[in-house]
């Protein structure tokens, strides 16, 4: 009998086996959860690269649903949640691991972000959580848990994180408001703020390797977090172990976020 036996949920944001969303999904599966996955719609139906990426991971664990979803399209979101309702009836949890900024806007300074780039970044990285919560609540009549992924760049200035830092700040603020609004229905909303993990999306962040070195030097544990640790924390937030936790941004970063200056033994480079 696993911790998540009989629980049903939908996972947004798996790109490959290095995705944080996949690390969480693996832990949920190991504890008995029934999982559904979304993936980016493929531009060429004859060559469904995005679908294949997710199926390669999700089929072997017996995923009950694998469906495309463009979170910028309300009709597509409606369709994805209708598919989830048809497959599961009700949902117990949703994992939201979606963020995006146009590469030129992400790599450049915040003052130079284009108007359209800012709109796109906020739409995909922040509004999508609100849109997901709106639809998920109808499938959670007995309550549930919704989690999203954040990073310290939403609380502190992290050079190179740029416009995505603004998005994460807005995302974390939305978590509090959503927790307040959905709480009376028994739905919890939390953010998981992980240390820097090498994923497909992090490859676009400038000086990412420098971030990793900083964590090794400065974090109280003197190391960066492992992706499996992030997965276990996601399991905790989704499971009944955390029924009293909502509106929280939980850091999984070896304690890095508490430091205001390098420790005496810090070595860089």
Q: Say yes or no to pLDDT of 68 above 90.
A: yes
Query: What is the predicted pLDDT for the residue at 206?
Result: 57
Pairing type for strands 93-96 and 65-68 reads unpaired
| Rounded CA separation 173/175 (Å) | 5
Among this protein's residues, is 161 annotated catalytic? yes
| Rounded CA separation 31/27 (Å) | 6
Those residues whose C-beta lies under 8 Å from the C-beta of residue 74, and which sit 6 or more positions away, are 131
Query: What is the predicted pLDDT for the residue at 145?
Result: 98
Q: Say yes or no to pLDDT of 207 above 90.
A: no
Query: What is the predicted pLDDT for the residue at 28?
Result: 98
pLDDT band for position 267 (cuts 50, 70, 90) = confident
Query: What is the predicted pLDDT for the residue at 77?
Result: 98
Class of domain 8-242: alpha beta
161, 215, 236, 256: the catalytic one is: 161
Query: What is the predicted pLDDT for the residue at 208?
Result: 67
pTM: 0.94
100, 151, 215, 236: the catalytic one is: 151
Q: Say yes or no to pLDDT of 257 above 80.
A: yes
Do residues 94 and 146 make contact, with C-beta atoms less than 8 angstroms apart? Answer: yes
Distance of CA 201 to the CA centre of its chain: 11
Torsions phi, psi of 145, nearest 5? -135, 130
Token pair listed for 185: 């229905």
Q: Say yes or no to pLDDT of 88 above 60.
A: yes
pLDDT in tens, 211-227: 778 888 899 999 999 99
pLDDT in tens, 115-163: 999 999 999 999 999 999 999 999 999 999 999 999 999 999 998 899 9
């Amino acid at each position: 009998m696993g911790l998540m036996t009989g629980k049903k949920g939908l996972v947004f944001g798996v790109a490959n086996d290095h995705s944080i969303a996949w690390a969480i999904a693996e832990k949920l599966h190991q504890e008995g959860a029934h999982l559904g996955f979304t993936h980016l719609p493929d531009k060429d139906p004859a060559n469904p690269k995005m679908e294949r990426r997710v199926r390669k991971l999700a089929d072997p664990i017996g995923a009950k649903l694998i469906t495309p979803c463009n979170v910028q399209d309300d009709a597509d979101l409606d369709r994805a949640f209708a598919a989830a309702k048809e497959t599961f009836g009700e949902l117990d949890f949703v994992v939201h691991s979606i963020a995006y900024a146009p590469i030129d806007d992400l790599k450049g300074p915040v003052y130079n972000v284009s108007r359209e780039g800012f709109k796109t970044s906020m739409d995909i990285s922040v509004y999508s959580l609100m849109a997901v919560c709106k639809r998920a609540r109808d499938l959670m009549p007995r309550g549930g848990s919704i989690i999203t992924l954040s990073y310290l760049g939403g609380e502190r200035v992290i050079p190179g994180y740029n416009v995505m830092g603004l998005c994460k700040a807005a995302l974390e603020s939305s978590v509090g408001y959503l927790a307040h609004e959905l709480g009376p229905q028994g739905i919890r909303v939390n953010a998981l703020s992980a240390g820097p993990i090498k994923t497909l999306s992090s490859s676009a962040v400038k000086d990412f390797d420098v971030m990793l070195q900083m964590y090794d030097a400065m974090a109280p544990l003197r190391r960066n977090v492992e992706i499996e640790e992030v997965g276990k924390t996601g399991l905790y937030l989704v499971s009944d172990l955390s029924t009293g936790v909502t509106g929280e941004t939980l850091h999984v970063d070896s304690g890095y976020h508490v430091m205001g200056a390098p420790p005496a033994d810090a070595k860089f480079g």
